[in-house]
Amino acid sequence: MTNPELNTPELRLPRPPGVFRRWLAAHPKLVDRTIVVVYLFGCALMVTIEIIGEISGPYYDDIDPQAAEELAQRAAHLQWPWVIVNVLIVVATAFALAYRRRFPMAGLVTVSLLLSLEQGMLAAPGIVALVFLLYAVPVYRSVAAGWVGFAFVLVTNSAIIFATGNSGYGVIGPGGIMAGSDSDLRSLIELVVLNALWLLAVLLVAINLGNRRRYIEALIDRAHQLATEREQRAQLAAAAERARIAREMHDIVAHSLSVVVTLSEGASAAMQSQPEAAAKAMERAAETGRSALIEMRRLLGVLNDAEDSGQSVFSVDDAQLEAPRAPQPGLAQLPELIDGFRQAGLHLAHIESGEPAGSAAQQLAVYRIVQEALTNSLRYAGSGAKTSVEITSTAEGTHIEVVDTGQLTGNAAPSGPHTDGFRLETIPGSGRGLAGATERARMFGGSLDAGPHGRGWRVRAYVPCGTTHTEKLQGEEQ
């Protein structure tokens, strides 16, 4: 599916220069057919001239017998059965021109060898066809192939010139004007040199145009690749952003709802026996829900910048919750997070050593990992479970270990400020929390290990104080 951004002016892909050249490139078959038709027309014209010359030959016997003899010799190839050979030569040359884009070297070799056969005036369109084929080799193949073709044609045509004498056979270009009756070595060498210069001129023009064509095609192909790569990067960035938002939403909702459900069930169980504790538990549940709504509003506010002020309002029922655009939580907010879990009923031992280090994103990762581990302890071990949180910060990174004792058994009852005297049912989870926490740690090159520990559960994580994997890739590309 094409990204609509590719249609914007700044991403408009370049086109090859030249209206006429673009039209020729867009209609290659029409161009090839036109060349073949022009060649066949030239052959028909040469044959017509030779036939007229043969018919008018007898009228020159009394005036110029030598001219009459030359006219008869030029039309000799039209006599049976030699005419069949010339028809085959014309057909082979026409096929070579028609397929010059696919098989330029084969066509060049074929036509160059056919020029050694007696063709009379048909040699003129054959020489033109040879020039087109020599031009096609470096354009549609390579520069090296062009030089090979040039050497083959030069050797072949030079051999024809020396074999036929100064008769003009095998001469390409203006050198044919110098052809005459003299067949001394000097004149033959001059014809060969002129032949080589003319062929070299055709080759250099073809090399220049072929290189230019390949360069433009490479530029346009690179532009297509860059546009596609930009679209793919935009899609990857959007997918990464959706995954990040999904992790944040999961952490906020899972943590807050687990605490709210725990406190609500505790309040329901203690409603009759401990009304004051139940009321405090409900107040804590409302406060937790309100905090979760504010945090969600803050997160969604990053995606929607419609408001010009630094605050946005998110209404739930009749309550107006102000959501300031505050920074995301970090290590400084851990005591508040742990205090909330203590009020939910967990017996928490918190040990923190070292000076917090790392960026705000890394501290947020540490906060969310601890939050997910404690949420799982509350969800599976239940209120009243003993849990320890140990965080060790160094200059290299932050080590995290969260261990709980597991579910209480027998007649043991959980105890806490607002949950004395009741037992809670285990709250099922989706399994995405630990996966998101592991991904958070790996984003910074860290790791996370979670598994059973005695009757309980242990989560160990390490978040190094380095660049994220995405930042490393961007730095390598730059």
Which tens digit of pLDDT belongs to each residue from 241-300? 777 777 777 767 766 777 777 777 777 777 777 777 777 777 777 777 777 777 777 666
Tell me the three state secondary structure of residue 234. Answer: helix
Strand-strand pairing, 347-353 and 386-393: parallel
The whole-number pLDDT of residue 204 equals: 94
Nearest to 266, CA basis, from 250, 283, 282: 282
More confident residue, 233 or 3: 233
Question: In the chain, what are the domains?
Answer: 19-183 (no CATH), 232-477 (3.30.565.10)
The whole-number pLDDT of residue 217 equals: 82
Q: Which two tokens stand for residue 422?
A: 């009741």
The whole-number pLDDT of residue 323 equals: 47
The whole-number pLDDT of residue 439 equals: 83
Which pTM does this prediction carry? 0.51
The whole-number pLDDT of residue 378 equals: 79
User: Counting beta carbons within 10 angstroms of the beta carbon of residue 294, is it exposed (0 to 12), middle (13 to 18) or buried (19 or more)?
Assistant: middle
The whole-number pLDDT of residue 434 equals: 80
Q: What is the pLDDT of residues 294-322, one digit of tens each?
A: 777 766 665 555 444 444 433 444 344 44
Over 80: is that where the pLDDT of 40 sits? yes
Tell me the three state secondary structure of residue 461. Answer: strand
The whole-number pLDDT of residue 174 equals: 56
Helix ranges restricted to H, 178-326: 185-269, 275-303
More confident residue, 51 or 363: 363
Across 17-21, 60-64, 459-463, least confident range: 60-64
Which range is most confident: 60-64, 274-278, 301-305, 368-372? 368-372
CA distance 447 to 438: 7
Across 194-198, 279-283, 407-411, 468-472, least confident range: 468-472
Mean pLDDT of the chain: 75
Average pLDDT of span 190-209: 89
Over 90: is that where the pLDDT of 105 sits? yes
Q: Which amino acid, one-letter code, is at 42?
A: G
